[in-house]
Structure 1
């Protein structure tokens, strides 16, 4: 992940602040640019779109991310409350889903990916970091460049499966507190600490599969 942030900074596109392209039609907002601080019903990021926000935002009707789409909320280098998403996070074949310092009510369900290269950063990665997640987490079949699930507090079970990444330092699943089970299988590379310098996960239930020793 340190490599990714360096590459992002070098490209000067870690956060795109171009004109706002948010189309609000209560109770649904379609985001294809900057998501400004505020309160929203359901937020939809359409196929191939990019939606970026520094927060804080309150999303009351769930977040839906489409195929080849990118959603970024917050930044690991700038700690602070970025808001609340109620209704869960749902994505099908996204390019990148990056959520930091957010309360997520309703869990996370990400299925598939769109390959390791492309999108606004020229490479794709999922970063679910420093969040308070209430509900189950299921991330399956992501095939981007890198993926980290780090420093989250989860009230529910977590299943991370079949995530096959380009970066051999990927699949960093560490420093989480999980009130439920942690299940990992079919991931390549195998789940690891990597360069995150993270700590073992604290899990109230069972650690099984590839995460049994993490």
Structure 2
């Protein structure tokens, strides 16, 4: 899929989500069972505030310029949406972010001029950027879509199973303290690009279905990895991107299909 079409697909998804979120006053974030400082969002925009935990069970997003602090964990239920990649916001999570099967998890957006690469522009404010940090881990189990862009994660990023036939996945411009693992997807496209990773990057058992791939394969481009880059059973293969010198810096070993991408 070419870049313009890829952003068009994501933009359509974001616009549709915002319309759904703002079109009904009945869909709103309400106090959750964890107490007055815990929130459950059944639909709409998560308001600025400080919460003990955040549970997302409907189609939820964040407002442009929102400031949200979650002292504990963020949980996105099966088939729910947490869209924090369409509007720039400041989000701080003291624990983990976990997304269930069929969900959409989108965190972070930024303009290309901020990061010096293809970036992931904010749909509602193309010149804005998010500041999102997670003290624990980000984990998605059989999610429909995962979009992580410009996020600081002190622990691990693990994206296991899932996929979408029409929505591309992006994991780029993140700063991850430990490991990135992406495995078991049957999806349209995946890019793991421009990340700084404190330990290892492992990708395996990924099958792409992009009908117009350009440079075919899982994009693994210009990551800085302190330990190892390991890739196995990726179809139709791997790609270092289009720009000359789009290789990865690896402190340890590059193994499997990624051996040539250093």
TM, length-normalised to structure 2: 0.72
CA contact (8 A) 1:125 1:145 kept: yes
Q: Offset of 1:74 from its aligned partner?
A: 2.1
CA contact (8 A) 1:22 1:29 kept: no
- Once residues 198 and 82 of structure 1 are traced to their aligned partners in structure 2, the CA distance between those partners, rounded to angstroms, is 29
Partner residue of 2:149 out of 93, 97, 100? 100
Give deviations 1:15-71, integer Å, cap 9, x for gaps.
733247445543321123014531012001100011111321001110000001001
Higher relative contact order (CA 8 A, sep 6+): 1
Partner residue of 1:58 out of 92, 99, 110? 92
Partner residue of 1:83 out of 104, 109, 132? 132
Tell me the secondary structure at the aligned position of residue 187 of structure 2.
coil
Is 1:69–2:109 an aligned residue pair?
Answer: no
CA gap 1:147/1:77 in 2 versus in 1, 3 angstroms? same
Partner residue of 2:80 out of 45, 49, 60? 49
CA gap 1:56/1:15 in 2 versus in 1, 3 angstroms? farther
Residue of structure 2 in register with 1:120 after alignment: none
Show structure 2 runs of 5+ residues with no match. 39-51, 110-119, 123-127
- Once residues 128 and 74 of structure 1 are traced to their aligned partners in structure 2, the CA distance between those partners, rounded to angstroms, is 10
> Which protein is bigger by CA-based radius of gyration?
2
- Once residues 175 and 10 of structure 2 are traced to their aligned partners in structure 1, the CA distance between those partners, rounded to angstroms, is 26
Tell me the secondary structure at the aligned position of residue 239 of structure 2.
coil
Residue of structure 2 in register with 1:113 after alignment: 162
Residue of structure 2 in register with 1:16 after alignment: 17
CA contact (8 A) 1:126 1:146 kept: yes
Give deviations 1:92-131, integer Å, cap 9, x for gaps.
10011101111011111111014x33xxxxx233211101
What does 1:122-141 align with in structure 2 at a 5 Å threshold? 123-141=166-184
Tell me the secondary structure at the aligned position of residue 17 of structure 2.
coil
Q: Offset of 1:81 from its aligned partner?
A: 4.4
CA gap 1:186/1:74 in 2 versus in 1, 3 angstroms? same
What does 1:175-194 align with in structure 2 at a 5 Å threshold? 175-194=222-241
Q: CA RMSD in A?
A: 2.2
Show structure 1 runs of 5+ residues with no match. 118-122
Q: Offset of 1:199 from its aligned partner?
A: 1.4
- Once residues 198 and 16 of structure 2 are traced to their aligned partners in structure 1, the CA distance between those partners, rounded to angstroms, is 30
